[in-house]
Copies of this chain bind each other. A is one copy, B any other.
Amino acid sequence: MTVTEDIASGPARRKRAGGRAGGRIRAGTAVIDQMPWRIPENPDRPTEPLDEAGVEALHRGCMTILRDIGIEFLNPEACAILRQAGCRVEGTNVRMDEDFVMEMLAHAPASFTITPRNPGREIVIGGRHMVFVNVSSPPNAWDLERGKRPGDFETFREFMKLTQYFNCIHVAGGYPVEPIDIHPSVRHLDCLREKLILTDKVVHAYSLGAERVEDVMEMTRLAGGLSHEAFEARPRMYTNINSVSPLKHDHPMLDGAMRCARRGQAVIVTPFTLAGAMAPVTMAGAVALSLAEGLSAIALLQYINPGCPVGIGTFTSNVDMKTGAPAFGTPEYMRATQMTGQMARFYGLPLRSSGVCAANIPDGQAMWETSNSLWAAVQSGTNMVYHAAGWLEGGLIASPEKFVMDCEVLQMIQRYFEPATWATTPEDIALDAIAEVGPQGHFFGCQHTQDRYSTAFYAPIASDWRNFEAWSLDGAVGTAERAHRIYKAILEEFEPPPMEDAHRAALEEFVARRKQEGGAPTDF
């Protein structure tokens, strides 16, 4: 028998008979019995590798970078604002003192909400809350049927349906694949229209030019049927910006961040510091550089609009020193994430990290790397997990099978957070049941079990817990193939969430008008 036969063979379709009650997206026809929507709260004390001196050393390193080396702000407006704020600006190089940075950080809220067009999908970013974002920005897709291919709009739509379907995905982040069959000038219009119709979850704008950011804010406002005042009264969407490590913020990212900040929309600042490439080969050095880059942009935004919602992201990993290839979910990645978590708490900022792997297909390596990165998210006290479902090949591939498999892991993390799993009331310790069953009995039949069995344990969606023989007789279907079937079934049965006709009409009208105007310039 080969892995071929084991993983992909067999015509039999396993019937998924249900499990945990209450998780159905809609009655009757649910493909899978998933957990209900919730904003998970992480009850664990974070894993903190740094002692107090380590935190102080990283803080000092970060402040020294900001004061003595400086960050390049490739945006004249940002430079002018920072000069006005008292920073030392020479050309594009901006140096800031600790007092200024810490004063600005003190404005930043430790926690904030983002409210999408369906207020029932409001998320909290901060505190013990942890939300999961779909895979964002791969240029390519891979699935079991079609292999690897460039992203297109139909594939984008498939991922939007998965994003909406799974209750454990809280945010419709960036484009799950880049739809290259749509011209870049209007891509954001088509993508956001589709996203705002196919999902009712929090959406995101790429900071790739003023028009794109402004259009997405306007589309989010229209899809929610909001006045301009209502839109700006609280965060309704967000952007995520990446620095150009080492030590640089580019023009469009800063522009988009400033536009969002001015209108009270959320900004996550996520440097991408690969140790050994665009960051020092030592993890603490890569983290210090990442923090300096992130804090410098956050200081700018807090100066522009004190108290505006911001978060700091970490994307610190290492390269393979033999090939230069980026590695993800490594031990070094985990410690960097935990260290950044300690520093985010030190600075009072919500933390974003990611669910990542270097693997090319959704196999064993993909899942141990992704598990490592997701457990690092838990251990670090991460508030927002980007790429939590669907990511492969270091972010170059989005895979629907991986999306389903990751959602299994995310659901398990949500269940892991439930206090029922460690409750120690007398009913939990169950001495009466132990006495009743005694040394000869079995607990399955006792009343204590019967009262609880339907909700006692995590009920899987893609895992197959049957023994080898039962599993073989049913076709010996491997994990990736099971996930593929779930993905297909979800697409078949998908229905978009309700949307008021007037809101949809306003959205469509806006898109039509902006397309007529030519969309966004594509020469930046």
Contacts and interface: CB of A to CB of B under 8 A. Distances in A.
Contacts of A288: 429-431, 434
B443 A280 contact: yes
Nearest to A58: B424
Interface string A275-318: 11111111111001100000000000000000000000000001
Interface in A402-422: 405, 408-409, 412-413, 415-416, 418, 421-422
A318 B457 contact: yes
A89 B274 CA distance: 65
B463 A369 contact: yes
B429 A19 contact: no
B275 A360 contact: no
> How many protomers of this protein does the assembly include?
2
A449 B412 contact: no
B339 A283 contact: no
A418 B334 CA distance: 12
Most chain B CB atoms below 10 A, which of A421, A460, A481: A421
A210 to B, nearest CB: 24
Nearest to A6: B361
Interface stretch (A60-68, A100-108, A231-239, A516-524): A60-68
Interface string A156-183: 0000000000000000000000000000
B8 A281 contact: no
Interface residues of A, number: 142
Contacts of A146: 1
Given A247-B438, A285-B430, A456-B281, A144 B3 contact: yes
A26 interface: no
B457 A327 contact: yes
Nearest to A412: B331
B359 A393 contact: no
Given A375-B375, A412-B330, A434 B289 contact: yes
A277 B444 contact: yes
B323 A466 contact: yes
Contacts of A284: 422-425, 428-430
A29 interface: no
Contacts of A448: 280-282, 285
B280 A368 contact: no
A137 to B, nearest CB: 16
Given A368-B409, A422-B338, A330 B468 contact: no
A58 B430 CA distance: 11
Interface stretch (A46-54, A77-85, A487-495): A46-54
Contacts of A127: none
A278 B442 contact: yes
A453 interface: yes
| A interface secondary structure, majority | mixed
A246 interface: yes
B246 A437 contact: yes
Contacts of A50: 422, 424
A422 B363 contact: no
Interface string A445-467: 00011001110111110111111
A371 B360 contact: no
B285 A467 contact: no
A320 B456 CA distance: 10
Interface string A354-389: 000011111111111111100100000000000000
Given A3-B144, A422-B335, A443-B276, A431 B64 contact: yes
Given A416-B335, A422-B283, A58 B429 contact: yes
Nearest to A402: B364
A443 B277 contact: yes
Contacts of A442: 277-278
Given A246-B443, A363-B363, A394 B429 contact: no
A463 B246 CA distance: 28
The 10 lowest CB-CB distance pairs between A and B, nearest first, are A1-B147, A285-B430, A371-B371, A49-B422, A280-B430, A331-B416, A61-B429, A364-B479, A247-B439, A284-B428
7 contacts: A3-B8, A285-B428, A335-B416, A368-B368, A368-B370, A368-B405, A393-B467
Interface of A: 1-4, 6-8, 17-19, 43-45, 47-50, 53-54, 57-58, 61, 64-65, 68-69, 71-72, 93, 140, 142, 144-148, 246-248, 275-285, 288-289, 318-327, 330-332, 334-335, 338-339, 358-372, 375, 393-394, 396-397, 405, 408-409, 412-413, 415-416, 418, 421-425, 427-431, 433-435, 437-439, 441-444, 448-449, 452-454, 456-460, 462-468, 471-472, 476, 478-481, 483
